[in-house]
Amino acid sequence: MATARLTMAQALVRFLMAQRTEIDGRDAPLFPGVFAIFGHGNVTALSEALEAVRDDFPTWRGQNEQSMALAAIAYAKAKKRRQIMVATSSIGPGALNMMTAAGVAHSNRLPVLLLAGDTFASRLPDPVLQQVEHFGEPSVSVNDAFKAVSRYFDRIVRPEQILQSLPQAVALMLDPAACGPAFLGLAQDAQAEAFDYPEAFFEPVTHRVPRPRPDLEQVKAAVGLLRGAKRPLIIAGGGVRYSDAEGELAAFAERHGIPVAETVAGRAVLLHDHPMNVGAAGGLGARSANRMMAEADVVLAVGTRLQDFTTSSWAGFAPDANLIGLNAARFDAHKHRARPVVGDALAGLREIGAGLEGWKAPAEWGETAKRRYAEWNAFVDGRIKPTNQELPSYAQVIGAVNRLCDEDALALTAAGGFPGELAMNWRARSVGSFDCEYGFSCMGYEVAGGWGAKMADPSREVVVLAGDGSYLLMNTDVYSSVLTGMKLIIVVCDNAGFSVIDRLQRNQGIPSFNNQLADTKHAGDLVRVDFAKHAESLGAIGLRARGVSGFEDAFREAQANDRTTLIHVEIDPRDWTEGNGSWWEVGVPEVSPRETVRQARADHEAGKKRQRQGV
């Protein structure tokens, strides 16, 4: 058997480079590159291996381990999980910085390969720099913390272990049911040790993401429920995107007259003006979608994990509604006593559709959906309409971006006020034009994610929408985008604090406290940040805008610029899009001296009575 004597790090890199993927019939690298911050733990072995192939397997240097891993996640999302980026760090704090990103990937079912340095397998130099010591368990390192946020976890302490571990990690990351982050802790000495690896280990392999077909009896049961439905509804999640099932979903809904509500992850699987679209569902959704959910007798949930913002904390459904869970993941398909259809979204829709041949939902249900969606859109028209007010609303800024950007531009955001305002007010003019990280609601995803999404498709305009709070938390990839020539348009809506949390606080009867800058402990006059100047210090172009017309002028200038441009616009901190009919369970104090809190508790208990019981 032919062998190659390589260090473990060299063999790992060579294996990754041999993995291929098929995208729309074209061959492409499964791992197109690496995000890396080097330090002790990965610089003397892994960087040596990566430097030797830098022209064929590009390494991109991030500014923060968390943000580069977030960029890798956004890349995978933009590529519909067909390609996977690698992120590597040193040991200790460098590794732990990637933990938040691992949580993002885990909750959103997205693949990323995380390679972190680890302590020495020999333990001879212990304790090494940045090593924590567990007195009763010396084999534990900080990397064990990743077990809670990884789908696949391994610690490589001998060079031959990657022969078994790497293929398993790849298989898991490509598994539609188990997809998520894979983590390998690489012992520093093992990285540098040599082994005679079989040449067969490095032979090119082309991976095709499987489409698991659902069980025929499960399909039959789902068809029976739908055929008996008078008020059916589809809830479309991110799994529709990852299955490439957008076209199949649209055709299925039209053919059978079933309205479609989208989750946050599923936004823009349908065009805004698709005849069966009723808007986003749940807490961040449209009143039209939520009214349809509340009356539906059968709900077909496709490719969604049914997060509380989709289900209105499970108070959004009719008490006797029947759920059908079409999902590649058994865990998601079985939630809340759903009739499971465990399988790929595209394959499942086709097979359920075949069983529904000749059947269509009652016409009056479809007409109700169209009327309610039209009413919601008229409401949104009023929200996004430009005015002369000095401080515009989120909705007005979103409306301006929607009007001015290219049809296929990607609107990207994460935590704070933007997820709700975008989900309710963004109008998709192309499929896949929306990326809101709300599985983990991770502040800081915005700029990093924009960088990763732009790398996935440099020809596409990527518009990053962030609040001042998220931008302050993580912004260094403004510089990364400039350094790598990946132009972004970054819109920072400045409402002087964590205004959406202030809103939640006040809505539960609690006085504003420690969320708006004005309500925090501060010395002297309140100092505001000039985000445009900050962006300039990172090599970008910074613009300041006042009002909607000023913002529109700035946005046009940003579109014409040749590098990343940040627009700083102050907005009204309390002008929110409300009244969508949803409910969200939060912990409201059971006892309080405040009458406002006691009233909020009463409202909370009323909402609890509408909740669907999980068992």
Strand partners, 280: 262
Structure tokens that stand for 351 in this block: 């097979």
Looking up tokens 């509500």 gives: 261
Residue 3, token pair as written in the block: 């062998």
Q: State how far the Cα of 202 lies from the Cα of 197, in Å rounded to an integer.
A: 9
Look up residue 263 and give its two tokens: 């989750």
| CB-based burial label for 300 (10 Å; 0-12, 13-18, 19+) | buried
User: CA separation (Å) from 147 to 141, 142, 187, 300, 585?
Assistant: 11, 10, 17, 33, 29
d(CA 546, CA 417): 19
Give pLDDT, residue 203: 98
Output the CA torsion 577→579→582→588 (10° steps): 80
Token digits for 497? Answer: 């604090």
Domain 216-375 has CATH 3.40.50.1220: yes
Determine if the pTM surpasses 0.75: yes
Residue range 289-325, pLDDT digits in tens? 999 999 999 999 999 999 999 999 999 999 999 999 9
Element (H, E) at 206: strand 205-207
- What does the alpha-carbon distance between residue 261 and residue 59 come to, in Å, rounded to a whole number? 40
Judged by DSSP in three states, 512 sits in coil
pLDDT for the residue 354: 98
Q: What number of residues does the chain have? A: 615
DSSP assignment letter at 299: E
d(C-alpha 201, C-alpha 68), whole Å: 29
pLDDT of residue 615: 52
Number of H helices, E strands in the chain: 24, 23
Residue 479: the pLDDT is 98
What is the DSSP code string of 272-296?
Answer: TT-TTEEEE-GGGS-HHHHHHHHH-
pLDDT digits (tens, 9 = 90+) for 243-270: 999 999 999 999 999 999 999 999 999 9
Query: Helix 99-107 crosses helix 65-78 at what angle (to 10 degrees)?
Result: 20
**Domain range list for the chain:** 3-207, 216-375, 385-570
**Alpha-carbon separation of residue 405 from 399, 426, 433 (angstroms):** 10, 12, 11
Asked whether this chain's domains 3-207 and 385-570 adopt the same fold, the reply is yes
> In one letter, which amino acid is 275?
P
- φ and ψ at residue 404, rounded to 5 degrees: -95, -25
CATH 3.40.50.970 at 385-570, yes or no: yes
Q: pLDDT at position 447, please?
A: 98
Q: What is the mean pLDDT of each run of 10 residues along the chain (615 residues)?
A: 97 98 94 97 96 98 97 98 98 97 98 97 94 93 97 98 98 97 98 98 95 97 98 98 98 98 98 98 97 98 96 94 97 95 98 98 98 98 94 97 97 96 97 96 97 98 97 97 98 95 92 92 91 98 97 98 98 94 93 94 92 76
Please, how many CA atoms are within 13 Å of residue 325, restricted to the half-sphere of its CB?
Answer: 18
What pLDDT, on the 0 to 100 scale, is given for residue 66?
98
Per DSSP bridges, beta strands 298-302 and 339-342 are unpaired
Q: How far apart are CA 544 and CA 558, in angstroms?
A: 11
Q: Is 354 exposed, middle or buried (0-12, 13-18, 19+ CB in 10 A)?
A: exposed
- 341 has which bridge partners? 326
Dihedral-angle region of residue 157 (phi above 0 means left; psi in -120 to 50 means alpha; beta otherwise): alpha
CB 178 within 8 Å of CB 327 = no
Q: 418-425 vs 394-404: helix axis angle to the nearest 10?
A: 50
CA-to-CA distance for 328 and 574, rounded, in angstroms? 40
pLDDT score of 136: 93
Which CA distances in Å does 429 have to 91, 187, 203, 270, 462?
A: 44, 49, 43, 9, 14
Q: Are 187 and 141 in contact (CB under 8 A)?
A: no
Q: Are 401 and 491 in contact (CB under 8 A)?
A: yes
Place of tokens 């002297």: 524
Q: Which CATH number fits domain 3-207: 3.20.20.70, 3.40.50.10860, 3.10.105.10, 3.40.50.970?
A: 3.40.50.970
pLDDT at 613: 81
Helix (H) or strand (E) holding 221: helix 216-227
Q: How far apart (Å, rounded) are the C-alpha atoms in residues 146 and 167?
A: 20
- SS3 (DSSP) at 103: helix
Q: Extract the runs of DSSP E, i.e. beta strands, from 304-384.
A: 322-327, 339-342
